[in-house]
Amino acid sequence: MIQIRTISKIPEIKGKKVLLRVDFNVPISKETGEIQDDTRIVEALNTINYLRLKGAKLIIMSHLGRPDGEVKEELRLTKIAQHLEKLLEVKVKKLDQVIGNEVKKAISEMKDGEIIMLENLRFHSEEEKCEENFTKELANLGEIFVNDAFGTAHRKHSSTAGIANYLPAYGGLLIDKEIRELAPLLTESIARPLTMIFGGSKIDTKIGIIKNFINKADYFLIGGGLANTFLNAAGYNTGQSLCEKEKLHIAQEIMLECEKNREKLILPKDVVVAGEVNDEAETATVPVQDVLGDMKILDIGRLTADRYCEVIQKSGTVIWNGPLGVTEYKPFQNGSRMIADCLANHPCTSIIGGGDTADCIKKLNIPVKAFTHISTGGGACIEFLEGKSLPGIEILEK
C-alpha cells in the first residue's frame, strides 16, 4: 500500500504560506461560459477548509484547458474563483498573474486564513516543461507545498512535482482518498470477476491499462470511439465514424492476446448510427456488419448494452473509464445510461475513472453515491491502475 505524507503531518500551519495545487480543470460551456460540472471543485473543499481553518495563508494553483503557454481570456480562472467563493462562503481573491511582483505583494499582505487564487498556470509554457527558473519562482511564493490534484498527478509539471524540490511537500485529503480507494485494485484480493469497461475516443490512453490487465481482468467491454478502432481492426466497415486507422495494428495485437479466452474482449454487436452529430439527429440502430457509406457510429446499441449488463451483473468488481457514446448529445446517451443504471443497481465494487466518465454520470442524473468511488482523474486513474509511479504522488511518498 502506498503511504504518503498528508497534511495532518504538517508540524505548524498557522501563519504559513501554503501553496496548494488543485485540479479545477472543470468543463465550461462554450455558449454561456458557465461551469457545467463542479465535482472537482467540491472534492477539494475538505482540504481547502482544513488548511484555512488551521490559519494557513492559502495560495491556490490550478490549470484550465489547454492554452499552450498563451493567455486566453476564456480560460482565465476568474469564474472558477467566484464559484469557489460561493461554495466556501469566504472571500477568494483572484489574481491575474501566476508569478511576478504583483503576486508577491498580494501574498505579503495576506492575513491568516485568507485565500488567493493564482491565474491559469498553463498560460506559462514553462509550467508543463517543469522549467527550473519558473518552478523556483513558484516555490518562492510559499513555505509549504500541498498537492491535492490527483487529476494531474501523472504529469511532471512545475506545480505538480517540481516545487517539491524546494519546499516540504504533503498530500491533500482528496489525493489521499484517491490512493486509498484505488490501491486495493492493484492487489490480487479484489472481488471477482473483474470487468473493465472502456469508452472514449482514443486508444492511446487505454493501451497500457488493457495490456497491464490482460492476465488480471476477466472481461473487457469496449464502446465509444475506441470500439470503432477495434471493429475496424476486426474487419468491419465503420463508415465515417471516428476511427484511429494508424492504431489498427495495436488493436489487433490486443485482440490476439485476448483470443485465448474468446469471451474476454467483447465488442459491440449493434450500434447507433446517424449522419450528423447534434440533439436533433435522426438515428438508426444497426448490426455492426451493416455499417457502411457515410454512417457514423455514435453509441452502442441496445443488444450490446444488454450483453454488457449481463457481464456486469455477474461481476464482483467493475472499473469504467470513458463514455460509450457521444453523450454530449441526447440521441447518443442511451448506451451509457443503460450501463450506468445497471452498475448503479449492482452490489459490486464500482470504480468510475476520469473526468469524462464522471461528467457523463452527472449528465445522466445518476446519484454518485450509487458507485463505490468516482475518481477525479482520468489519465491519472488509468496510469495509477497500470501500476505506474505518478510524479505528483511519488514526491509525497514516505
What's the whole-model pTM score? 0.84
At which of 108, 141, 174 does a domain end? Answer: 174
User: For residue 28, what pLDDT band results from cuts at 50, 70 and 90?
Assistant: confident
Q: How confident is the model at residue 383 (pLDDT cuts 50, 70, 90)?
A: confident
Cβ atoms within 10 Å of 96's Cβ, excluding its own: 15
Cell of 39: 465535482
Mean local confidence (pLDDT), 322-338: 95
Is position 397 within any domain? no
Give me the phi and psi of 143, to 5 degrees please: -120, -20
Q: Among 155, 174, 193, identify where a domain stops.
A: 174
Q: Considering Cα of 103, then 107, then 109, then 115, what sign does the dihedral take?
A: positive
The pLDDT score that the predictor gives to residue 155 is 94
Q: Which residues carry out catalysis?
A: 40, 202, 355, 379
Q: How many CB atoms lie within 10 A of CB 200?
A: 21
**Amino acid occupying residue 379:** G
Answer yes or no: do 223 and 278 share one domain: yes
Q: What sign does the dihedral 221-226-228-234 (CA atoms) show?
A: negative
Residue 87 one-letter amino acid = L
Residue 239 domain-assigned (yes or no)? yes
Contact 201, 174 (CB under 8 A): no
Q: Which of 151, 174, 197 is the last residue of a domain?
A: 174
The stretch 265-270 carries a mean pLDDT of 97
Sign of CA dihedral 337, 338, 339, 342: positive
Closest to 291 (Cα-Cα) out of 274, 304, 303, 276:
274
Number of domains in the chain: 2
Q: Tens digit of pLDDT for each residue in 275-311?
A: 999 999 999 999 999 999 999 999 999 999 999 999 9
**pLDDT at 205 exceeding the cut of 80:** no
C-beta atoms surrounding 38 within 10 Å: 17
Instruction: Quote the mean pLDDT of the chain.
Output: 93
Distance, C-alpha 310 to centroid of its chain: 27
Confidence band, pLDDT 50/70/90 cuts, at residue 188: low
Which CATH number fits the domain that encloses residue 370? 3.40.50.1260
Domain for residue 328, yes or no?
yes
Find the domain containing 279 and state its range: 182-385
161-183 as b/e, with b when 16 or more CB fall inside 10 Å?
Answer: bbbbeebebbbbbbbbbbbebbe
Residue 65 domain-assigned (yes or no): yes
